Structure 1
Amino acid sequence: MDGAISQYKKIAIFRALQLGDLLCAMPAIKNLRMAYPGAELVFIGLPSARKLIERYPELFDRFIDFSGYPGLPEIPFDAKSFSRFCKSLASEAFDMILQMQGNGTIVNEMLRACSGGSTIAGFSVSATEMAENSLLMPYPNWGHESLRHIALMKHLGIAITTTAMFFPLHQTDFENLDALAIGNGYICMHCGSRGSWRQWPPAFFAKLADYCTRQALRIVLTGTSEELEIINQVAALMDEKPIILAGKTDLGMVGALLKRSNGLISNCTGISHIAAALRVKSVVISMDGEPERWGPIDTTRHKTIDWTKTPDYALVEQAVKQLLFHEEDHQKRLISFE
């Protein structure tokens, strides 16, 4: 580790993105924390990320809400809120702000203007920036998202002891789930996502759900309240009535639900990353053409179908058969179902 860097006592991480993006960054951040066990580590992100960050008290000491900035679509920009954010950020006097948002074309300039002179580290696509600041590295526009951030830690001279994603679960998560009386013997199915272009057609989800129910497993449809429209479309097309938990679970309950499930079938979205972090078997349909970046790395426990290249329902059903239904377990379920 660089001698100057090793003296940092107050470090901020900027990553104002969504659930899956944050989970993919956690392995790198864990290595960062192990390199700086006594430093104050502060996460700067979207207000909606606070609950997730609070699940990692061993990594983060504090959380700061990000108020938005022009060119960053995740949150509406408000000039007054941003001015307050800048003043607050400058007053923090961080030794280092780690830019883990993306390639730096927008964020690096913003952080330099608002940080009050803090050292900026992270990604860049500017040769001039990198020549002036050795803590910036070329953005690796390749490979899995989690490994891109591992590469950043290596660039900073931080030893890598883990690359595995992880998602903490607590006893209260299972107790809250128990209150819903779901029981066992089910497949989680997540048919929504933040962008409609990333959603597999409802008719295919329904057809696959019917296949799973014929194998003696119930279907639990997960999602947010905002995703109820597509969830209800899927439910209406199914032969058997599913359990709909959209809007009824918090983040921890979703994790507990997955942990007790027989597997997950979903679009490539936040819940697929939770399943990967919990080592829950999953079949993921990638609609964005970037399965190598966002699909689970472990291909023995997870199967990702790139729908942009192979839009074939039969391939998805075959993946479910091979991954989620073992013959011995399948026969046990059929006997109990009868």
Structure 2
Amino acid sequence: MNRRSFLNRHEIRKVIVFRALQLGDMLCAVPALRALRAALPDARIVLTGLPWAAQFAQRFDAYVDEFLSFPGHPLLPEQPVRHEELTAFYASICERGFDLALQLHGSGDVTNHIVGGFGARSMAGFTRGEASQSERTLLVPYPEAGAEPERLLHLLDRLGAPIAGSKLEFPLRHEDIEELEASQLAPDLEPGNYICIHPGARKRDKCWPPACFAEVADQLRHEFGFDTVLTGSADEALLARAVAERMRTPAIEAAAPISIGAMAALMSRSRLLICNDTGVSHIAAGLGLNSVVVFSKADIARWAPTDRLRHRCIWDPAAERAAVVLEHARALLTGTEPSGQRATGMWPYW
């Protein structure tokens, strides 16, 4: 029996990876991309995904050499289909003759058909059914449990890639710092002397109420004296304003038309981030920034950062646990665990 790994059985010089998702989902794929690069250090790795992810590919150029904008599919809800681009998109990929097409976009119900259309010499990905393996194809059952980075790494492990942990990354660039400074959003902030509150999320029904964020922000300002910075994209400015209007203490409203990188640079200098279950929670994980993340709808076991000591994830669909959020914010700011609990980093969710 040939016991060589799937990757070692093939000469792989060009790989195309499919994952057409939003910021947090893409950041969760970084450990898998890291493992792929470690396995194929000389291969050309091309990522295809949502148009915004061109900036993701640029930031993670240690793992991704090129980005192709995916024009969409009728059964994938993340973007409208650009029908006029579909034929040219698939034809151009087929013409390039990829050695491996890697499906990193979920269980494969729709996406295996998409990736199968890339015409690569071999294909690997997930499937909802039983495992399927041939000389040129490897489909493994999509894990139904575990954190998202670990689920994706399961496929890379089966391919024979060396796994370098599930830790997330968010490398800051000089341009991020320069953009932040040029924005003049908070020119007088002292690094390490402020807390970031990010009240928004792509899906507004996932957002903790502004009054809850305001209550937590006021209490932390009273107890620790740190400045409060309300972050967000330009279209979340009204939500940041709603939090500020409910606060009794002053806040700096920094929801503005700046890039994800500049916002991450602002967060990187803070003491703590408090946010909803959204992409910035994974930015915090990549930055190594302590955070308290409020969940109300999503699968907390799948989407919570894996370091439970640094990132405290609170389940609060009824918006009635502000005291618990405060308790864990205090713990992260002081290093004193709530209720005498011992810090192991392996706690369940709260």
TM-score, normalized by length of structure 1? Answer: 0.91
Which residue of structure 1 lines up, in the alignment, with residue 113 of structure 2? 109
Deviations 1:14-60 (A, max 9, x none): 00001111111101111110110110000101111111210112111
Aligned partners of 2:16 and 2:101 also within 8 Å? yes
Which residue of structure 2 lines up, in the alignment, with residue 320 of structure 1? 329
Aligned partners of 1:47 and 1:65 also within 8 Å? yes
* Inter-partner Cα distance in structure 2 for 1:27 and 1:202: 34
**Any residues of structure 2 matched to 1:283-302 within 5 Å, and which?**
283-302=292-311
Aligned partners of 1:43 and 1:63 also within 8 Å? yes
Which residue of structure 2 lines up, in the alignment, with residue 143 of structure 1? 146
**Any residues of structure 2 matched to 1:122-141 within 5 Å, and which?**
122-127=125-130, 130=132, 134-141=137-144
Q: Which amino acid aligns with 2:177?
A: F
Residue segments in structure 1 that go unaligned for 5+ positions in a row: 328-338
Aligned partners of 2:122 and 2:137 also within 8 Å? no
Aligned partners of 2:102 and 2:115 also within 8 Å? no
Q: 1:242 to 1:7 in 2, by over 3 A?
A: same
TM-score, normalized by length of structure 2? Answer: 0.88
* Inter-partner Cα distance in structure 2 for 1:5 and 1:249: 46
TM-superposed CA distance for 1:131, in Å, is 5.4
Which residue of structure 2 lines up, in the alignment, with residue 17 of structure 1? 21
Which residue of structure 2 lines up, in the alignment, with residue 34 of structure 1? 38
Match for residue 74 of structure 1 among 71, 78, 90: 78
Other structure's SS at 2:255 match: coil
Aligned partners of 1:192 and 1:227 also within 8 Å? yes
Residue segments in structure 2 that go unaligned for 5+ positions in a row: 337-350
* Inter-partner Cα distance in structure 1 for 2:153 and 2:286: 16
Other structure's SS at 1:54 match: helix
Aligned partners of 2:197 and 2:273 also within 8 Å? yes
Other structure's SS at 2:171 match: coil
Q: 1:264 to 1:233 in 2, by over 3 A?
A: same
* Inter-partner Cα distance in structure 2 for 1:278 and 1:193: 19
Which residue of structure 2 lines up, in the alignment, with residue 306 of structure 1? 315
Other structure's SS at 1:265 match: strand
Q: Which amino acid aligns with 2:210?
A: P
Which residue of structure 1 lines up, in the alignment, with residue 235 of structure 2? 226
Aligned partners of 2:304 and 2:313 also within 8 Å? yes
Q: 1:248 to 1:242 in 2, by over 3 A?
A: farther
Other structure's SS at 2:91 match: helix
* Inter-partner Cα distance in structure 2 for 1:220 and 1:5: 52
Match for residue 158 of structure 1 among 156, 161, 164: 161
Question: Which is worse superposed, 161-170 or 46-55?
Answer: 161-170
Aligned partners of 2:126 and 2:141 also within 8 Å? yes
Deviations 1:112-144 (A, max 9, x none): 2x21354221111133x7256651100002100
Q: Which amino acid aligns with 2:253?
A: I
* Aligned-residue CA RMSD (Å): 1.9
* Inter-partner Cα distance in structure 2 for 1:247 and 1:84: 36
* Inter-partner Cα distance in structure 1 for 2:89 and 2:333: 47
* Inter-partner Cα distance in structure 1 for 2:320 and 2:100: 45
* Inter-partner Cα distance in structure 1 for 2:285 and 2:292: 11
TM-superposed CA distance for 1:4, in Å, is 5.3
Match for residue 217 of structure 2 among 209, 213, 228: 209
Higher helix share: 1
Which residue of structure 2 lines up, in the alignment, with residue 50 of structure 1? 54
Q: Which amino acid aligns with 1:173?
A: D
TM-superposed CA distance for 1:241, in Å, is 3.1
Which residue of structure 2 lines up, in the alignment, with residue 193 of structure 1? 201
TM-superposed CA distance for 1:146, in Å, is 0.5
